[in-house]
Structure formats: structure tokens, C-alpha cells
Amino acid sequence: MKPEDLSSLGGLLACPSCHAGLGPADAGLKCTGCGSTFHVDAHGFVEFRADDSGDEVYDQDTTPEEYAETQLHSGQRLFDEYIFPLLGEERFTTVLDAGCGMGMGVSKLLDEGYEAFGIDLPNMARFWARAGKNPVRFFCADAARLPFREGFFDVVYCMGAFEHIGTRTGFFTLLDNYKEIRRACVNELLRVTRPGGRIIVACPNKRFPVDIQHPPADAESPPSIGLKIRTAVYDKTGVNFHPVWGKYHLASYPEVKQLFCEDGGARGFRPLPLSDYFGFSIFERTSLRPFLHLVRFYLNNLPPFLRGSFVNPYMLVEIRK
Ligand SMILES: [Zn+2]
């Protein structure tokens, strides 16, 4: 990254620790308030790691090579047919993709002339560099410590990332303090959204007992008979039958509503329709394939008043600050 790019960033961004402005410093940015420095990494992207924290989350390596490759274009249909029309329901200019992965959505929004930004963990930077992503638009940051000014964004979206916040290695095993981490993340998403702006959150619904996007365990999961059986079922069918209560990494509508509205003071909470959300290729990898038409019919016809309940397989919601 060139020095003039860095100085242009200074006015746009804020310190993730104290929210003061940033100015250029040797090989990076320096907070004008607390003096924290943030350097440009080997791949050319700014790393918003706190000077003072161990920040273990920051070193999570969640993305194997093959996955990054497929992620470059996956989600394209979802973006074109669902997310972009949803964003377009209201006027917007500034957008943040929190947990942007390979940043397909951010790149599309930039092509359309929007002021779009993406953040993800530092392990993504090598893939961003390879894909030619713009270091003034993509940052290595933790969703619980965002490097943006208060109220900067018209829309913030967090799709398929919230369920991994507060986990030990970025997958499923929850840290003991995951609730505090998730609260910090929600407060940050709310902080950077302008009053009246929107936050869109999506992940499989914890209260619905079936998840086809995540296996039952990660390398950190303590072994148990139950987990063994669930893993065997998942390996055979592609379907993860999971707990709907207690400590589990997925989020439910009541939990998300509590965090954003009751605790965070957001004004609106609208569970969104699932029609057109799924490309049905994902179902073709599972034993649900014979029921494809039935599943599609169910998802497309779920009555609006049941969207926020346990009969909805997905937690997909628009929150109004
Ligand atoms: Zn600071």
C-alpha cells in the first residue's frame, strides 16, 4: 500500500480501541487518541490488532486454500438475487460486510459505485492479495473491535459469520466468555451503523434442529457418544441434527433480538423471508435431495408470522438502529 493511500484512510477510519481518528505512521496508521499503531501486513492490508491484547481470535486460521478458491465466486447467486435487492429496498451509499470472506459482495458493490468495505480475520489477507482486492476497502479486523467511525454505515451485513464469533478456533467450540464477545460484536455493529440504518444478520436458526451448513464438531469438540452418533449421521446424510437449547454456536431469533434490541437499543427487528435465499445446490449434497420440492415449498411458503420462530430453519433478520 502506498503512503497516500494510508493518509486517505486516516480520515475514514477510527481506532478500534478508543474510536479516535487515525493518522499515518511508519508503515501503518497511528491513533491520534491512545497512540495505538496498526501496521500494514506482508500482503498489503492494514491489521487492526490491539497493541495491548493477546487477541487470540486474530490468529485463527479458518480458511484452507481450496475453500478460499471456491469462495471467490460462491454466494454470487445469493448476492444478486437476494442481498442486493434487499439492500436496494432503501437508499444507501455506505456498506460494511462484517466477515466478508473472499469479499465477492464487497467487490460487486464497489463495481456498482457504492462505498463498500469488508473486514475479516488476517488469515484472509493472503487470499485478498492474490485476488487483487483493494487494501483501502478490505481490512483485517475483529468484528468485536471495528476500525470505523460511529454511524458511518447505512447498512451493515453479517452473513454466515455471527455463529463463529466467540469460538475457540473460528469454527464451533465456544469460549467460556462467548456471550460477552458476542455482545461486544453486536455493540460494534450498532455503533458503526447510522441511526435509522440497517443491520442484516444471517445464520442457521439454533432453535431449528437441522443444520446442513456446519458439521456437528470441530477439532476442539470434547468427544462424546452423542457427538459420535451425530457425526456418523452427518457423514452419511449431510444433515447435522443438533441441540436447540443451551450452549451451541448457532444463534436463535430470541437471542439475537435480546442482543440487538433489548440490550443494544435497536428499534426494529424484522425476520426476513427465505424465498430465493437458498440456491438449492446445497440440498443436493445432502440426503434431503429427494425432498427438494417439499423443502423449497416449505421455505417459500412459511407464513410471515412464523418466520421468527423455531419452525424456520434459518435466522435471517433485518435490524433497524
Ligand atoms: Zn486509540
Using the mean position of ligand 1's atoms as its centre, give its distance from the Cα of residue 135 in Å. 21
pLDDT at position 185, please?
Answer: 94
Q: Which of 171, 270, 152, 276 is nearest to 216 (CA)?
A: 171
Q: Which CATH class is domain 54-207+247-276+308-320?
A: alpha beta
Using the mean position of ligand 1's atoms as its centre, give its distance from the Cα of residue 14 in Å. 8
Q: Within the chain, which residue ranges are assigned CATH 3.40.50.150? A: 54-207+247-276+308-320
pLDDT at position 123, please?
Answer: 87
Q: Which of 165, 42, 50, 5 is nearest to 98 (CA)?
A: 165
- Residue 319: helix, strand or coil by DSSP? strand
Percent of the chain past pLDDT 90, that is, above it, reads 46
pLDDT at position 100, please?
Answer: 93
pLDDT at position 63, please?
Answer: 64
C-alpha distances out from residue 171 to 37, 162, 187, 297, Å: 29, 11, 22, 31
Using the mean position of ligand 1's atoms as its centre, give its distance from the Cα of residue 58 in Å. 18
pLDDT at position 118, please?
Answer: 96
Query: Pairing relation of β-strands 28-31 and 193-204?
Result: unpaired
Using the mean position of ligand 1's atoms as its centre, give its distance from the Cα of residue 137 in Å. 20
Using the mean position of ligand 1's atoms as its centre, give its distance from the Cα of residue 187 in Å. 17
Using the mean position of ligand 1's atoms as its centre, give its distance from the Cα of residue 113 in Å. 30
pLDDT at position 154, please?
Answer: 97
* φ, ψ dihedrals at 136, nearest 5°: -90, -5
Positions of the chain with pLDDT lower than 50, given as ranges: none
pLDDT at position 46, please?
Answer: 92
